[in-house]
């Protein structure tokens, strides 16, 4: 980060002598810790064509979760366009290692988020992003139709366009709709984090859970749970606590695979062939 840019950030934050430390873990944006004499900030910089839209959607998602007063999110301080890209500045939450008590609290608060009262339809007010990929959110009162039209079909078509799936491996829209309708019950819309893997939450030093990097929309609460289990799962204490609020119903295991299919397709489109086998396995099992 050059001196002129540091001075620009200092001007925006109304601070002097800001120290900049590079942070690891950002695969889409560059991440930095900004330190002044009295405060610490977390800063993300993205130079992509969609940078400002990406950060605006992230801010909107964090604000939406925060407004439920169920689980904490970092406070966004700045979301600004730059000459090339955009920057997002928020409060810095120093992470600590979790224990089973932290995970239990996290589960209870996530369940509260999923149970927050709403009269919303499935979807969101506008498109946002899953990782760096645009995510459509056209509203629908039918969950299985929303999931097929707004989640599975766009990713399947993208995978074919990128030559990461062949036409022969692609189920028809009719097949997708029929099978999902048979396995997905009528459910109340829940506000979802939307991308809930282990890198998208943290615990403050006092044990308070924080959600970060959301891809929010209203959907079936099981979607967030399915994502938690995709890459090894969380501590059992998390699921035991969450299940105090939501009991498993018929078809949960099948729906978990169908919900994980979306995330596997996203990874296939972002990172390529190593996810092909897992995607095709689920497609064959349920649709072909």
- From 2, 195, 250, 254, the catalytic residue: 195
Do 140 and 150 contact (CB within 8 A), yes or no? yes
Q: Where are the domains of the chain?
A: 3-91, 100-286
Residue 128 half-sphere exposure toward CB, CA atoms < 13 A: 23
Q: How far apart are CA 88 and CA 91, in angstroms?
A: 10
Answer whether CATH 2.102.10.10 is correct for domain 3-91: no
Question: Is 195 one of the annotated active-site residues of the chain?
Answer: yes
Nearest to 60 by CA among 150, 154, 124: 124
Pick the CATH number of 100-286 from 3.90.1200.10, 3.40.50.1000, 3.40.50.1820, 1.20.140.10: 3.90.1200.10
Q: How far apart are CA 68 and CA 118, in angstroms?
A: 10
pLDDT tens by residue, the chain, 288 residues: 667 777 778 878 888 778 889 997 667 899 999 998 888 999 999 999 999 999 999 999 999 999 999 999 999 999 999 888 999 999 999 999 999 999 999 999 999 999 999 999 999 999 999 999 999 999 999 999 999 999 999 999 999 999 999 999 999 999 999 999 999 999 999 999 999 999 999 999 999 999 999 999 999 999 999 999 999 999 999 999 999 999 878 899 999 999 999 999 999 999 998 999 999 999 999 998
Q: Which residue has the tokens 């601070």?
A: 15
């Amino acid at each position: 980060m050059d001196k002129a840019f540091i001075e620009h950030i200092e001007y925006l934050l109304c601070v002097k002598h800001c120290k900049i430390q590079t942070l690891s873990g950002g695969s889409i944006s560059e991440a930095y810790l900004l330190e002044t004499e009295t405060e610490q900030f977390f800063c993300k910089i993205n130079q992509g064509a969609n940078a400002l839209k990406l950060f605006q959607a992230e801010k909107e998602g964090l604000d939406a979760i925060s407004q439920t007063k169920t689980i904490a999110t970092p406070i966004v301080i700045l979301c600004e366009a730059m000459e090339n890209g955009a920057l997002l500045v928020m409060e810095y939450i120093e992470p600590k290692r979790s224990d089973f008590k932290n995970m239990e609290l996290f589960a209870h608060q996530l369940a509260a988020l999923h149970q927050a009262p709403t009269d919303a339809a499935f979807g969101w007010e506008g498109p946002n992003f899953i990782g760096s990929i645009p995510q459509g959110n056209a509203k629908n009162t039918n969950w299985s139709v929303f999931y097929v039209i707004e989640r599975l079909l766009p990713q399947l078509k993208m995978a074919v366009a990128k030559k990461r799936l062949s036409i022969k491996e692609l189920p028809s829209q009719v097949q997708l709709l029929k099978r999902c309708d048979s396995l997905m019950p009528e459910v109340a819309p829940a506000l979802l984090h939307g991308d809930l893997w282990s890198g998208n939450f943290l615990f403050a030093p006092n044990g308070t859970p924080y959600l970060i990097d959301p891809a929010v929309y209203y959907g079936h609460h099981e979607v967030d749970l399915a994502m938690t289990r995709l890459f090894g799962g969380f501590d059992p204490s998390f699921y035991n606590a969450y299940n105090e609020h939501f009991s498993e119903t018929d078809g949960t295991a099948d729906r978990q695979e169908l919900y994980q299919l979306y995330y596997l397709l996203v990874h296939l489109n972002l990172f390529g062939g190593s996810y092909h086998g897992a995607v095709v396995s689920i497609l064959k099992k349920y649709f072909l």
